Amino acid sequence: MVETEYEQIHMPLIGDDAPSFTAVTTQGQINFPEDYKGKWVILFSHPADFTPVCTTEFMTFANMQEEFREMNTELIGLSIDSVFSHIAWLKRIEEKIEYNGMKNVEVKFPLIADLKMDVAKKYGMVQPNASTTQAVRAVFIIDPEAKIRAMIYYPLSTGRNMQEIKRLVIALQKNEAEKVATPANWQPGDDVIIPAPSSMEAVKERLGNIEEGNYCLDWFLCLKKESKK
């Protein structure tokens, strides 16, 4: 049996500084994170231009771009293709593709041309057991301080759930602003979890003085009621 040696894959972890880069994109050169100071960023990779799953993803992301911008969040795409291939593909999407009620979709967010895999390797987007020439479907959610707050990896065959990515950004922003956690299957407007007390005295204080609008299922699991508006 012949063993194949692969270059060791390094990927940043949650809480790490997002690796910096300068890249050519369909919207001109970008410098990350300098060009995105004060903003949340969704950096995502896709396997290749002119592929069916990627086409549906880009149309959906482009259709949601203003929703993300209302959340102070910018999109950056990446694949191991040339900028000319990117432009040709995005023009084809805008001019000819109609999918799921979407047509004439213009992709206005930058799409990185990463032929040398410089950015993809920094983020562990190329995983040799999946492909040595295409990036997997990686998603990095990066906060305004350029810290990685969440990562999701999908195989080449499976399209992403954009509503779940949006939900995750909303949950992270809520955690940042209010220091609360979100329970299983949480949706915006659902009740949120108050951090558990970390001492016996804090437990007694919490159970003896539950704030209006809060409720406890046990000493370690208390929730805050949210408005459904």
Delineate the domains of the chain, giving CATH numbers in brackets. 21-159 (3.40.30.10), 179-229 (3.30.1020.10)
| Among the listed residues 96, 98, 115, 40, the one whose alpha carbon sits nearest the alpha carbon of residue 72 | 40
Tokens representing residue 83 in the block = 């900028």
SS3 content of the chain, % helix, strand, coil (to 5): 30, 25, 45
Provide the 8-state DSSP code for 199.
S
Query: Do the beta carbons of residue 111 and residue 77 sit within 8 Å?
Result: yes
Other Cβ atoms closer than 10 A to 69:
13
CA distance 6 to 218: 50
Q: At what angle do helices 83-96 and 52-63 cross, to 10 degrees?
A: 70
Percent of the chain surpassing pLDDT 90: 72
Residue 133's pLDDT band (cuts 50, 70, 90): low
137 is in an annotated binding site: yes
pLDDT over 90 (residue 219): no
- Position of tokens 């102070």? 72
Average pLDDT, the chain: 90
* Residue of higher predicted confidence among 122 and 3: 122
Cα–Cα distance list, 78 to 10, 141, 151, 215 (Å): 18, 14, 15, 45
Question: Can you tell me the distance from the alpha carbon of 105 to that of 125, in angstroms, rounded to the nearest whole number?
Answer: 26
Active-site residue identified among 23, 43, 54, 135 = 54
Nearest of 195, 182, 191 to residue 221 by alpha carbon: 195
Q: Mind listing the pLDDT tens digit for each residue in 36-73?
A: 999 999 999 999 999 999 999 999 999 999 999 999 99
Question: Is the distance from CB of 78 to CB of 125 less than 8 angstroms?
Answer: yes
To the nearest 10°, report the CA torsion of 207, 213, 217, 222. -70
Average pLDDT (128-149) is: 84
pTM of the model: 0.90
> DSSP per residue over 21-90, as a string?
EEEEEBTEEEEETGGGTTSEEEEEE-S-TT-HHHHHHHHHHHHTHHHHHHTTEEEEEEESS-HHHHHHHH
Q: Mark whether 54 is an active-site residue.
A: yes
Residue 206 has pLDDT above 80, yes or no: no
Banded model confidence at residue 218, pLDDT cuts 50, 70, 90: confident
